[in-house]
Amino acid sequence: MNKTLRLALAVLALPCAAQAAEPIKIATDATYPPFEYIDAAGKLAGFEVDLANALCKEMNTPCEVVNQPWDGLIPGLSVKKFDAIMASMNITEERKKAVDFSKVYYFMQNRFVARKAGAGKVDAAAMRGKAIAVQTGTPQERFVTREFGKSATIKRYVNAQDPMLELASGRVDYTFGNTVQLQKGFLETQKGQGFEFVGPVFDGRRDKVLGEGVAVALRKNDAELKARFDKAIDAVKRKGIFQQLLQKHGLKGLLEG
C-alpha cells in the first residue's frame, strides 16, 4: 500500500473515530424532585435530567446521566469518575476553589418551612431554642449556620429528603431550602400537609452565601467543555426548549431562568 493510499484511508477513518467517542457522563443526586429523582420505573427523571439530555443533543454528543450521592459529587468529578455535575449546584466562592462552572441556567430561591400557625417571624429571637434541619454541604446550610447557629440547633443531613422527613416527624421545628424543591417535594405531598412557608424569600442576589446561580460544575481548567456547555445553554433557551422543560415539570413561574 503506497503512502498516498494509507493517508487517504486514515482521513476516511476520522469521522468514525469521532462517532465512537465516549459520551459525556453527567452526575446528579436523584433526591431533589422535581429536578432529579428516581421514577416509578426505577429510572432517573426530572427537570435537570431532561435538561442534561437537551444540552448533550445541542452539543451533538452522546450523554449518560448517573446517580451519585451529594457528598460524592465534587470528589467524583475531581477523580474523573464523571465529566460534569447537574444537581441544582449553586455557584459559591468555596465551590469555585474546587470546580469551574458553566454560565448560570437558573437562580435558586430559598425559604423556611414550618408547621402552620406554629412559627412567628424568622429572626434570631424567634429561632432561639428551635431546631432547623438542612442538607449538609449546601449554601443553605452555611446561611442558617451563620444567621441562626448561635440561637438555634442546626441539624445536618446528607440526603435532601431527610430534613423534610425530620420536620414532618416533629423532630425539628424548621427546614430551610430551595422553594421549588420544598413546594414540589414536600408541601404538595401528603407528608407536607399542615406545613407552610414562613418568612421572606432569600436568594444569592441579596446574599452571596446562598450562591450566584445554578450552573453545570466542571473540572478545573476544562475550558473546551465549559465553552460547549455555555453555547448549548444559550441554544436551549433561545429555541424555547428550556421553557418547555419548565412547563413539563411544573416549574414555570417558580424559578428564574
The residue-averaged pLDDT of 180-200 equals: 92
Same domain, 89 and 156: no
Please tell me what DSSP assigns to residue 31: -
Residue 228 has φ and ψ, to the nearest 5°, of -65, -40
Q: Domain check: are 205 and 114 in the same one?
A: yes
Output the domain CATH number for residue 128.
Answer: 3.40.190.10
Averaged confidence pLDDT in the chain: 89
Q: Quick one: 231 and 218 in the same domain?
A: yes
What count of other Cβ atoms lies within 10 Å of the Cβ of residue 76? Answer: 17
Task: For 102-121, write each residue's pLDDT tens digit.
Answer: 999 998 889 999 999 776 67
| Residue 11, in any domain of the structure | no
Alpha-carbon span 89 to 70, nearest angstrom: 10
* Beta-bridge mates of residue 177: 111
Please state, for a pLDDT cut of 70, what percent of the chain lies above it: 91
Please report whether residue 18 resides in a domain: no
pLDDT tens-digit readout, 61-86: 999 999 999 999 999 999 999 999 99
Q: What distance in Å separates the CA atoms of residue 35 and residue 171, rounded to the nearest whole number?
A: 26
Please give the model's pTM, rounded to 2 decimal places.
Answer: 0.71
54 φψ region: left (φ > 0), alpha (ψ -120 to 50), beta (else)? alpha
Which residues make Cβ contacts (< 8 Å) with residue 51, sequence separation at least 6? 86, 105, 236, 242, 245
- Quick one: pLDDT at residue 2? 54
39 and 103 fall within a common domain: yes
Are 171 and 56 members of one domain? Answer: no
**CB-based contacts of 154, cutoff 8 Å, min separation 6:** 131, 132, 134, 141, 144, 145, 148
What's the domain count of the chain? 2
- pLDDT value of residue 11: 43
Residue 15 has pLDDT above 50, yes or no: no
Beta-carbon count within 10 A of 48 CB: 30
Residue 163 included in any domain: yes
Predicted local distance difference test score (pLDDT) of residue 7: 45
In this prediction, residue 120 carries a pLDDT of: 66
d(CA 29, CA 51): 14
Instruction: Specify the amino acid at residue 63.
Output: C
Same domain (yes/no): 154, 222:
no
Confidence grade of residue 142 (pLDDT, cut at 50, 70, 90): very high
Instruction: State the CB neighbour count (10 A cutoff) for residue 55.
Output: 28
- Could you tell me if 97 and 140 lie in one domain? no
Q: How confident is the model at residue 5 (pLDDT cuts 50, 70, 90)?
A: very low
The whole-number pLDDT of residue 85 equals 98
**Do 215 and 151 share a structural domain?**
no
Model confidence at 122, pLDDT cuts 50, 70, 90, reads confident
Instruction: Give the pLDDT of residue 14.
Output: 45
Q: Is 171 buried (19+), middle (13-18) or exposed (0-12) by CB count in 10 A? A: exposed
Residue 197, domain extent: 109-209
SS3 38: strand
Domain annotation covers residue 12? no
